[in-house]
Chains A and B, each alone.
Chain A
Amino acid sequence: MGLPSLEQMQLQHVAAQLNALHAELIDDDRLEEWPDLFEEKCRYSVISAENHNRSLNLAAVFCDSRGMLVDRIVSLRRANIFPAHAYRHILGPTRVVSSNEQIVSAQTNYVVLMTRNDGQTSIYNSGKYIDEIDFSGDVPRFVSKTAIFDTHLIDTMMVRPI
């Protein structure tokens, strides 16, 4: 592996920045802005490694349009009953797996810490993102984001995006 080309470095930067923003919007409770990180036609799924590793598609959260992402957030705000909590994402380095003229595929390890009302912080979910990002438009957006989580025992519930 020689030195990366300028283009490779740019793609790596794009993927890492988009993931950082994704984490920031969730952690700072700017959830209404979160769906805008995705293309209108997109896939977002949060699936346990327990299922993924058996080639089973059953996901905890599965959305196949930006509208469904919006619906998740509106539900969280207006419909759902759950314990008050906040997330903090800790992201590992983003690695570009492949790319073409339009799409960069990348993966990133993550840990989500959860803090509940009682002030205690716990490791809520750890896993990796597998992303496809369209960088051909004005701003890069996720075409597909899959969070594959190791923590297959979910603490009480999952309502915020991972």
Chain B
Amino acid sequence: MATAQQTDNVKQDTSAAGCRVPYRVFTDRQYYEREQENIFKGECWSFVGLEAEVPQAGDFKSTFVGETPVILTRDSDGGVHVVVNRCAHRGALVCREMRGNRASLECVYHQWAYDLKGNLIGVPFRRGLKGQGGMPGDFDMSQHNLRQLRTESVGGLVFASFSETVESCRDFLGPIVVEQIERIMCKPITVLGDQRQRIHGNWKLYAENTRDPYHASLLHLFHNTFGLYRSTQTGKALMDASKRHSLLYSIAASNDDAADKQAYGDSRTFDTEFKLQDMSLLKGRQEFDDNITLVILAVYPNLVLQQIQNTLAVRQTVTYGPDEFELVWTHFGYQDDDEEMQAIRLKQTNLIGPAGLISMEDGEAVEIVQNAIVGEERATSYIAMGGGRAEDADHLVTEGAIIGFWDNYREMVGFDLEPT
């Protein structure tokens, strides 16, 4: 339990130089439960999938908002919908497959059937059998639909919200995020496949990791040694007006190997002796006129949209308690990719995902924090690189966007929940 003095320190330090986050927010179940209510079921939009995952009428995909199972569907009018995957009768999963195509959603338990918007359309034995049984006379089908979430698509990314009062999704994202989504989703995409990894740590450690341009060249040797990303690159760390989302981008063409080597000195991750036998892994194409080669767009609370070289992917966070989350990577290319481009994307996938020569290391970064803070009630982290405030930076030596995340978190959940 935090003492009063400790609590004061937390507030003081956050408003002055540096941000301090109490480690208990990563380990204590009451924070996790409050997050489910206030963030994932609260005044937020969560990412649930790509429209390209459900292209045809009747297509569906099972996924999650936070820990709540939901279904993303495409109806016969072409609209996408998100409903809670829980029968209105006695709570069974209506959809037990990961994905598929169906004319309607039918619960196997008692065959209650719903249309693709989640409206109840069939109840077996509703009027009884042979004059016996049946639902009460005042049973009103329209009052027993699946829980329907507000659903909005932005550039083919589908978001859903439990809240009736939250602003529109576009407003929630803000112009910077919308512009970046539209930059990558600039033409029809094709899904290349999924990857899933279970990370034994708190989901917010990954939210920090993806708002952190400071670590990227110090943890990841591939980024640094091969110049895919360096903090010396031309790039920016920007936030939306609310500072809950984060955009990191950089331009590899700005590398100056000699000067960069000097800047990094003896850093483990700038290893000029490290060579690849087969450099085809790093051969790509310039795809965007702006020369930007790395974009990590971290969208509060559960999405990363990324471009690393020619790899394009969304990463969705699914929570499984305070000390475990799943990261679902859905990789895509464009429908007009030629054969060579398809091959480039498949080969560069070696860089990202759970087996990615870069991305695998973020799983370990999360777990070594989680393992070190177990049972810690009072201590805090200290986040101050770049000045210690939630401010944009026209460089990559900053942790400002992490602080932006925590400012929003403190508002929605708080750092000082009283033990129940």
User: Measuring CB to CB, which residues of chain A are less than 8 angstroms from any residue of chain B?
Assistant: 46, 48, 50-51, 54, 56-65, 67-68, 70-72, 74-75, 78-83, 152-159
- For A159, the chain B residues whose CB sits under 8 A away are 355, 360
- B139 on the A face (CB < 8 A): no
Which chain A residue has the least Cβ–Cβ distance from B200?
Answer: A156
B residues apposed to A, CB below 8 Å:
98, 191-200, 219, 221-222, 225, 271, 274, 276-278, 280-281, 326, 331, 346-347, 349-350, 353-355, 357, 360-361, 363-365, 367
Docked pose: A51 CA to B328 CA in angstroms = 13
Closest Cβ of chain B to A150, distance in Å, is 12
Most chain A beta carbons < 10 A, residue from B193, B219, B271, B281 = B193
Give chain A residues whose Cβ lies under 8 Å from the Cβ of B346: 57-59, 62
Between A and B, 18 residue pairs with Cβ closer than 8 Å are: A48-B196, A56-B193, A57-B193, A61-B355, A62-B349, A65-B277, A68-B281, A72-B357, A75-B357, A78-B274, A80-B360, A81-B219, A81-B365, A82-B361, A154-B195, A156-B199, A157-B197, A157-B361
Q: For residue A72, which residues in chain B have a CB less than 8 angstroms away from its CB?
A: 357
Residue in chain B with minimal CB distance to A56:
B193
With A48-B194, A67-B277 known as contacts, the answer to whether A154 contacts B354 (CB < 8 A) is yes
Contact A82 B192 (CB under 8 A): no
B195 near A48: Cβ-Cβ < 8 Å: yes
Bound form: Cα–Cα A20–B219 in Å: 35
Known: A70-B277, A81-B364, A156-B364. A50 touches B355 (CB 8 A): no
The answer to whether A68 and B277 touch (CB under 8 A), given A50-B98, A82-B361, A156-B200, is: yes
Closest 7 pairs between A and B when the two form their complex, measured CB to CB: A58-B193, A67-B277, A67-B278, A158-B355, A51-B193, A157-B360, A60-B355
The docked-state distance in angstroms from the alpha carbon of A65 to that of B219 is 27
Contacting residues, chain B, for A46 (C-beta < 8 A): 355
In the assembled complex, the Cα of A155 lies from the Cα of B367 at a distance in Å of 12
Residues in A neighbouring B363, C-beta threshold 8 A: 82, 156-157
Q: How long is the Cα–Cα vector from A154 to B194 in the complex, in angstroms?
A: 12
**B191, closest chain A residue (CB):** A56
| Chain A hits for B191, CB < 8 A | 56
Interface contact A71-B349, CB-CB below 8 Å: no
Query: Which residues of the other chain, B, contact A59 by a CB distance below 8 angstroms?
Result: 193, 346, 349
Q: How far is the CB of A9 from chain B (nearest CB, A)?
A: 36
CA distance A72 to B199 in the complex (A): 22
Contact B280 A51 (CB under 8 A): no
B43 to chain A, nearest CB (A): 31
| B277 and A83 contact, CB distance less than 8 A | no
B277 engages A71 (CB within 8 Å): yes
Of A54, A72, A80, A155, which is in contact with the most chain B CB atoms at under 10 Å from its CB? A80
Q: Which residues of A contact B222 (CB under 8 A)?
A: 75, 79
Docked Cα-Cα span, A54 to B354, in Å, equals 20
By the criterion CB–CB under 8 Å, are B192 and A65 in contact?
Answer: no
Q: Which residue of A lies closest to B269 (CB)?
A: A79
Residue of A nearest to B273 (CB): A78
- Chain B residues positioned under 8 Å from A83 (CB to CB): 364, 367
Q: Which residue of B lies closest to A54 (CB)?
A: B193
Closest Cβ neighbor of A159 among chain B residues: B360
| Chain A, residue nearest B354 (CB) | A154
> How close is B95's CB to chain A, nearest CB, in angstroms?
16
CB distance from B109 to the nearest CB of A (A): 26
Q: Are the CB atoms of A154 and B192 closer together than 8 Å?
A: no
Q: For B98, B198, B225, B354, which residue has the most chain A Cβ atoms within 10 angstroms?
A: B354
Chain B residues within an 8 Å CB radius of A65: 277-278, 280
